[in-house]
Structure formats: C-alpha cells, structure tokens
Amino acid sequence: MMQGGAQTPLQHLTTLLGADCIITEPSALEAANVDQLRSYRGRALCIALPRSTEDVARLLKLCNALRVAVVPQGGNTGYCGAATPDASGTQVVLSLRRLNAIRSIDPANYSMVVEAGCILADVQRAAAAAERFFPLSLGAEGSCQIGGNLSTNAGGVNVLRYGMMRELTLGLEVVLADGRVLSSLTALRKDNTGYDLRQLFIGAEGTLGVITAASLKIFPAPRASATAFVAVPDPERAVRLLAHLRQASGDQVSSFELIPAVALELVTRHVPGARAPLPGGSPWFVLCELTSARPGEALTERLEQALSASVENELVTDAVLAQSERDRRDFWHLRENIPHSQRQEGASLKHDVALPIDRLPIFVSRASAWLKAHVPEGFLVCYGHVGDGNLHFNLSERRGLSSGALVTRRDEIRRVIHDLVRDEGGSFSAEHGIGQAKLAELERYSSDVELGLMRAIKKTLDPNGILNPGKVLNVL
Ligand code: MLT
Ligand code: ZN
C-alpha cells in the first residue's frame, strides 16, 4: 500500500530517492524538454537521476503504483522524439547518466558488461584499452548513451560487417514497469532457453522496460585499414561495386557509404577546411573502407586493384585512396558532417529508409523523379549506409522560398516516399526508430497481426501504460 496519499508525486519521488536524485531546476528541465532537432517540445515534471539499478526498480514501482508516466532519456540525440516528454507537466524524465560504469570486460570471451548511461565513445575506448573493438559507431557517439543505442537499435557506419545493436548484444538487465528486474547479463553465444526476451527490449524505445545494463560483444581490434573516396556514375553502379569489393577483398569491407555531389557541396560550403577529395565532378561518390585485425595486411593494394578493375568495368570513374591517417580522417569528416551541413543549410525533411539492396537503385530513381516533378520547394540530399540498404532520403528547402514552404508539405511528401519504399519491399524506419514521429507510419505499414501482437506485448509488460506512453505504438 502507498503511504501518505496527500503527497504529490514529486514529493513521493523525492522521499523515495532523495532530493539530489530529483531535479526540477528550470534550465535542466529545459534541456530535457526539447529534442535535439527541436522538433518536439514537452514539459517534464522532473528529471530522475537514480544511482543504481535498485533505485530504478524502486522508482518504477512507485510510478506504476501512482500511474505516473516515465520517459527514459539517454543522450537526447534521437531524431524521432522518443525521449521527449509530453506537454502535460506530469511525466518523469528518467536519466541513467549516473549508471555509467563499465562493469566488466572479458577480452578472452570477447565481451563486456556496461551500464546504460555509458557514453558510446567511452565504451569504444574501454574496449580499445583491452585491445578489443566495440564496433557501433555513429555521428553522436561522443554524447549518445548505450541505453539509447539499445533502445533504438542503433546502426551507424559499421553495420555491414558487425550488425546493428541487436546483433551486438549478448544479454540485458532490464527493470520492468512494476519494478521487477530481469537480469540476464549472460555472455553466452549459445543459449536456447525459451523465448529470446532480450530482443523485446532492444528497439522498444523504453516502452516495455528500462534497460539498465548490457552484456555486449567485442571484437579483435582492427590493425590495418584502407579507405577510398570513389566517384561512381549512379547508385546502381555503387551497389554493384559493393558486391565486387566484398568478393575481391575476401569480405573485408566494413563501411560503404553513398554520398551525392549535392551533399559534398553542402559540406564543403558549410564546414571550414572541408574540401572535395577528387578534382573532377561526379553525381555520386562512395566512401568505402576495408579493415583487418591482422597488422600489416596489404589492404591498400587489394583495394587499389579492386578499384582499378572497377574502372575498367565502368563501375567507377575515379578514386583516391587515403595515403595517411589524416586523409582517412578527412574523408570521414566529410561524411560525418553531412547531417550538420544539412541543418546549416536550413529546414529539411528526413526519411530514414531501408531497401533490399537490389531494389535500392530503382527506388532512388522512382522517388527522385517524383520529387523533381512535384516538390519544387526542396532538393534531394540522399546519402547513407548503402552497404546495409539504408538511405537517408532527405530533402532540404530551396533558398529564396518563403520559409517553411517545404516543411508544411511534410506529411504528403512522406506518404509518397514511404509508399514507394513499401512497394519496393523496404522499411520506413531503418535505424532511427519510431518515437512519436512515425507512429502513424507504423500503423499504416504494419499488418493487423503485427500490430495486434505488439499491443498484446505492450499490455502484458506495461498494463498501466506508464512506460514512455505515446511513443512507438498507439495503444487502443
Ligand atoms: C547519419 O547516418 O549521418 C545519420 O544517421 C543520419 C542523420 O544524421 O541524418
Ligand atoms: Zn545513418
């Protein structure tokens, strides 16, 4: 039984965790109330900063009893509004940033156990210090947290070789809505004991439970790499080049990123010091990288040979290989600054789509043709992780138009693009999640059976609907 019914939820929470764990200071709340793209704004009751898994368990148990909604928030770097509270002023933003310990690292078993509040870059560094490699890598790695990476099933630039967060996870510790702790921080590679419960929580964006720690896979550290910036005539040739490089390199391609000329132009204009690596123009480029854990492996020669053969086969029109670590960093700097440059350019629309890789070129040509004919307000900036069939099929607003002209057409444009994605057998949500941005899309593109099962799971795990309500799934 709850005691002291006259107390407000805030008083209950403060009594439970202590005043230093419950933040109501306006500037802290302001940062938590807004998402990073400033597309969503809410008003939180407070930020809870628990110190341990036990604290999280006690907090959720209390919130469940009081029917107070909890919105888990990691580094707040997501694009879909999943970590933003609603405007009611009643929701608790739950930050696990104090749960930031690397609990253990086992180089022999190629695994490590980390807490959810660890910054991704710190996890990478801890693995490197043990001469191992944690491969998840994305633009926000200096501030995003592992809990958020797990909850959105994050992808990034190394998925081609190592997989998404789902594939990198061996076990989880999760606090359920009623405060029970599901503790399964196993480091086993084989474990067929019934349903794979951990997969329910990965990609659930905090709607089924709160992930507090994870057992992760780590890998042999890369000791050799070769990186090239390659001009290709079109996405179709880019896809064929990938197939060729995988075979020719003995499957050592770890990244394969598509970059259109327009993105390169945006980056060189908006980022001081950025310059195009190739002298001539090309409508499309690929940034590709081979890596190996074997020191001294002749990857540069291998890549050079494969690219020369590709010039002869007319897959490639020009290419330059990084001659130094500095060149390599410069190439990656161009790629990593595309989202930033698009923001600098002005308003934009993002579409994070995945396609079967053989359908990707036809999708690009159909969707581009439609945009050209019907959306004079914007221009296409289509880049992404082509090795995974994942495109960021984004639009930027043309300059000189009345501001907002593109964004007011957001829903209509999105509908056409996502319908084309579906027609080609793809997904409207590749690596950025659903949040509140794509609730309607989930309903439109999922079958009744899928939606029914998702709702049944949500009801079972969170019968009072306190976990991140209004995100991922409309619960009927
Ligand atoms: C990227 O790959 O750069 C991001 O996932 C997309 C973005 O930031 O828009
Ligand atoms: Zn991406």
Region 108-122: mean pLDDT is 98
Which two tokens mark 455?
A: 């709702």
Give the pLDDT score at 138: 96
DSSP labels, 270-295: HSTT---SSSS--SEEEEEEEEESST
Say if CB 422 and CB 410 are below 8 A apart: no
Mean pLDDT of 169-189: 98
Give the tokens for residue 356. 């079967």
Nearest to 303 by CA among 139, 134, 311, 206: 311
Question: How would residue 454 be classed by pLDDT, with cut points 50, 70 and 90?
Answer: very high
pLDDT computed for residue 5 by the predictor: 53
CATH-assigned architecture of domain 3-95: 2-Layer Sandwich (3.30)
Cα–Cα distance, 302 to 309 (Å, whole number):
11
Closest residue (by CA) to atom 7 of ligand 1? 339
CATH classification (class only), 346-423: alpha beta
Q: How far is the CA of 127 from the centre of ligand 2 (A)?
A: 23
Closest listed ligand to the CA of 263: 1
Tell whether the model's pLDDT for residue 468 goes beyond 90. Answer: yes
Index of the ligand 1 atom closest to the CA of residue 431: 5
* Residue 283 contacts residue 317 (beta carbons within 8 Å): no
At 329-347, the pLDDT tens digits run: 999 999 999 999 999 999 9
Q: How many CA atoms lie within 13 A of 450 on its CB side?
A: 7
- Among the atoms of ligand 1, which is closest to the Cα of residue 335? 3
Same fold, 224-338 and 346-423: yes
pLDDT 10s digits, 441-450: 999 999 999 9
What percentage of the chain carries pLDDT values higher than 90?
97
Q: Is the CB of 209 under 6 A from ligand 1?
A: no
DSSP 8-state secondary structure symbol assigned to residue 103: E
Task: Tell me the C-alpha distance between 204 and 165, whole Å.
Answer: 12
Tell me if 392 CB under 6 Å of ligand 1: yes
Domain 102-220: CATH architecture, name and number where available: 2-Layer Sandwich (3.30)
What is the pLDDT at residue 381?
98
Task: Report the separation in Å between the CA atom of 15 and the middle of ligand 2, taken as the mean of its atom positions.
Answer: 42
| Structure letter (DSSP) for residue 300 | H
Q: Is the pLDDT of residue 403 over 90?
A: no
Residue with tokens 């809410």: 42
Rounded to whole angstroms, how far apart are CA atoms 399 and 383? 21
How far is Cα 37 from Cα 171, in angstroms, rounded to an integer? 31
For residue 476, pLDDT over 80 is answered with: no
Q: How far is the CA of 456 from the centre of ligand 1 (A)?
A: 32
- Whole-number Å distance, alpha carbon 82 to ligand 1 midpoint, is 16
The answer on pLDDT for 1 being more than 50 is no
β-strand pairing of 219-220 with 253-260? unpaired
Ligand 1: does its nearest atom lie under 6 Å from the Cβ of 351? no
- For ligand 1, whether the C-beta of 50 sits within 6 Å is no
368-386 pLDDT per residue, tens:
999 999 999 999 999 999 9
pLDDT bucket at 4, cuts 50 / 70 / 90: very low
**Ligand 1 neighbourhood includes 339 CB (under 6 angstroms):** yes
* Token couple for 24: 């109501």
How many Cβ atoms from other residues are within 10 Å of residue 67's Cβ?
11
What is the torsional sign of CA 135, 141, 147, 150?
A: negative
pLDDT in tens, 193-236: 999 999 999 999 999 999 999 999 999 999 999 999 999 999 99
Domain layout of the chain by residue ranges: 3-95, 102-220, 224-338, 346-423
Least confident residue range of 121-130, 240-249, 287-296, 399-408:
399-408
The architecture of the domain spanning 224-338 is 2-Layer Sandwich (3.30)
Average pLDDT over residues 451-458: 98
Q: Is the pTM of this model over 0.75?
A: yes
Q: What is the pLDDT of residues 272-295, one digit of tens each?
A: 999 999 999 999 999 999 999 999
| b/e sequence 424-450, b meaning 16+ C-beta within 10 Å | bebbbbbbbbbbbbbbebbeebeeeee
The residue whose C-alpha atom lies closest to atom 9 belonging to ligand 1 is 339
Indicate whether 70 pLDDT > 90: yes
Q: Is 335 in the pocket of ligand 1 (CB under 6 A)?
A: no
Contact 112, 102 (CB under 8 A): yes
For residue 402, pLDDT over 90 is answered with no
